């Protein structure tokens, strides 16, 4: 994996879904081990990267392999590993462009040839689904909607090799100009009011005073809280939405978000208990918080549902050795 100086002289950047198209100077991540891949991980189970550790991330034609119900959680996981104000650049097959080519009868546009599919409409469909490898298809409008639902801001469509973020190097992986959408989005700048700033300080002492399970009628789940290494607070468990799937868990300290985690971790025990719930197999979450401050803090743990609503899951009361709130540092 590329080394990055703590001072940030060299940007830490992720090439997510790299496949065989790895690049030097990037953290190349893919679902399967391949030459040049630094990080083998399934984003639906969480990336083994610290929250807020990346300057920017790029994904080239990888998101289509994620099924629709898991798109927002996958994007939320990419948002988690970006630093506040960090940029995600997505390069995706453009459905609108393919439909335009089909309507004007442009056979040369399609990479699926007549030896595979005779009809032009068939070539359109097979190309967008890429022989069954792709599970989702995209337009610029749909991509922007997904990014906003995943918590990104300043979503903008870009041109090939032209960044909207001001980060010139972010376009280094651009390709497939003739068939792609280019979209950039920014992770919320927490210091500007979107939450809490990234913090490395660790409390001298941390005590868990109370844990209350308070699921509502719309969610069922279980919360477990314990003190981990270096006085970190480990919040983990599982959650299922009754009428809308749970996509994320938030920890609130007053009116501010202290930490977030995607609901993507495998929980075979939950799947066995709720065999009729399709999301049960990946209903788990884990979030580590580092205390900053002195005195008592009351934390509300709540589930974020796919429909955008939030439901209370539990409450934790802790006492820390330095003044302040709790900041999300990393998620295992």
Number of structural domains found in the chain: 2
Residues 63 and 88 reside in one and the same domain: yes
* H or E element that contains 85: strand 82-93
Question: Mean per-residue pLDDT for 180-203?
Answer: 59
CA 101, CA 98: separation in Å to the nearest integer? 5
pLDDT digits (tens, 9 = 90+) for 197-210: 223 333 457 788 99
Residues 166 and 273 reside in one and the same domain: no
Among 32-36, 108-112, 117-121, 262-266, the minimum mean pLDDT is found in 262-266
Residue 290 confidence class, pLDDT cut points 50, 70, 90: low
Residues 22 and 70 reside in one and the same domain: yes
Q: Rounded to the nearest 5°, which phi and psi values hold at 190? A: -60, -35
Q: Cα dist. 273→37, 64, 115, 283 in Å?
A: 37, 31, 48, 12
Q: Domain boundary at 164, 192, 220, which?
A: 192
Closest C-alpha among 248, 238, 191 to residue 215: 238
Closest C-alpha among 231, 84, 75 to residue 150: 75
CA 181, CA 61: separation in Å to the nearest integer? 10
Residues 88 and 184 reside in one and the same domain: yes
Residue 8 counted as domain residue: no
Residue 54 counted as domain residue: yes
Residue 7 counted as domain residue: no
Percent of the chain at pLDDT > 70 equals: 86
Residues 255 and 159 reside in one and the same domain: no
Which CATH number does the domain housing residue 238 bear?
2.60.40.10
Residue 99 counted as domain residue: no
Which CATH number does the domain housing residue 166 bear?
3.40.50.150
Q: Which residue has the higher pLDDT, 272 or 200?
A: 272
Tokens matching residue 58? 């790029």
Instruction: Classify 250 as helix, strand or coil.
Output: strand
Closest C-alpha among 120, 87, 238 to residue 249: 238
Residue 242, classified by CB atoms within 10 Å of its CB into exposed (0-12), middle (13-18) or buried (19+), is: middle
Tokens matching residue 316? 């934790």
Question: Mean per-residue pLDDT for 287-293?
Answer: 68
Residue 317 counted as domain residue: yes
pLDDT attached to residue 232: 73
Instruction: Classify 84 as helix, strand or coil.
Output: strand
CA 239, CA 224: separation in Å to the nearest integer? 12
Residue 290 counted as domain residue: yes
Closest C-alpha among 183, 145, 146 to residue 162: 183
Q: Domain boundary at 149, 167, 192, which?
A: 192
Q: In this model, does residue 148 exceed pLDDT 70? A: yes
Residue 231 confidence class, pLDDT cut points 50, 70, 90: low
Residue 176 confidence class, pLDDT cut points 50, 70, 90: very high
Residues 171 and 68 reside in one and the same domain: yes
Structural contact between residues 263 and 207, judged by C-beta atoms closer than 8 angstroms = no
Residue 196 confidence class, pLDDT cut points 50, 70, 90: very low
Residue 165 counted as domain residue: yes
Residues 147 and 46 reside in one and the same domain: yes
Q: How does the average pLDDT of the chain come out, rounded?
A: 85
CA 103, CA 116: separation in Å to the nearest integer? 20
Question: Mean per-residue pLDDT for 24-50?
Answer: 92
Residues 78 and 215 reside in one and the same domain: no
Residues 181 and 34 reside in one and the same domain: yes
Among 4-8, 179-183, 254-258, 270-274, the minimum mean pLDDT is found in 4-8
- Domain boundaries, position 33: 13-94+138-192
Q: Is 278 left (phi over 0), alpha (psi -120 to 50) or beta?
A: alpha
Residues 229 and 181 reside in one and the same domain: no
Residue 266 confidence class, pLDDT cut points 50, 70, 90: confident
Closest C-alpha among 181, 81, 170 to residue 128: 181
pLDDT attached to residue 296: 81
Question: Mean per-residue pLDDT for 308-315?
Answer: 92
Residue 130 counted as domain residue: no
Residues 173 and 222 reside in one and the same domain: no
pLDDT attached to residue 204: 52
pLDDT attached to residue 158: 94
Q: In this model, does residue 46 exceed pLDDT 50? A: yes
130 DSSP assignment: G
pLDDT attached to residue 255: 76
Residues 88 and 39 reside in one and the same domain: yes
pLDDT digits (tens, 9 = 90+) for 107-135: 999 999 999 999 999 999 999 999 999 99
Residue 331 confidence class, pLDDT cut points 50, 70, 90: very low
pTM over 0.85: no
């Amino acid at each position: 994996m590329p080394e990055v100086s703590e001072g940030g002289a060299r940007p830490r950047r992720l090439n997510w879904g790299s496949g065989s198209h790895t690049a030097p100077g990037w953290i190349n991540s893919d679902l399967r081990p391949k030459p040049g891949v630094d990080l083998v991980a399934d984003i639906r189970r969480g990336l083994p990267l610290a929250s807020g550790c990346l300057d920017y991330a790029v994904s080239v034609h990888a998101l289509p392999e994620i099924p629709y119900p898991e798109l927002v959680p996958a994007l939320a996981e990419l948002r988690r590993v970006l630093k506040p104000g960090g940029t995600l650049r997505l390069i995706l097959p453009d459905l609108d462009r393919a439909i335009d080519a089909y309507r004007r009868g442009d056979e040369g546009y399609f990479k699926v040839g007549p030896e595979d599919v005779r009809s032009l409409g068939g070539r359109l469909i097979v190309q967008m689904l890429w022989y069954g490898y792709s599970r989702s298809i995209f337009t610029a409008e749909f991509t922007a909607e997904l990014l906003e639902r995943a918590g990104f801001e300043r979503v903008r469509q870009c041109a090939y090799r032209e960044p909207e973020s001001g980060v010139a190097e972010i376009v280094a992986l651009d390709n497939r100009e003739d068939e792609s959408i280019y979209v950039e989005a920014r992770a919320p700048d927490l210091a500007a009011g979107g939450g809490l700033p990234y913090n490395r300080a660790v409390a001298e002492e941390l005590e868990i005073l109370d844990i209350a399970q308070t699921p509502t009628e719309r969610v069922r789940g279980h919360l477990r809280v314990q003190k981990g290494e270096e006085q970190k607070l480990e919040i983990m468990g599982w959650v299922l939405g009754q009428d809308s799937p749970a996509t994320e868990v938030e920890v609130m300290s007053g009116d501010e978000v202290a930490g977030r985690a995607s609901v993507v971790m495998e929980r075979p025990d939950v799947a066995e208990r709720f065999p009729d719930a399709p999301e049960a197999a990946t209903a788990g979450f884990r979030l580590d918080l580092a205390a900053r401050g002195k005195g008592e803090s009351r934390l509300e743990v709540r589930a974020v549902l796919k429909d955008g609503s939030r439901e209370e899951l539990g409450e934790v009361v802790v006492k820390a050795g330095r003044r302040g709130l709790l900041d999300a540092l990393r998620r295992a």
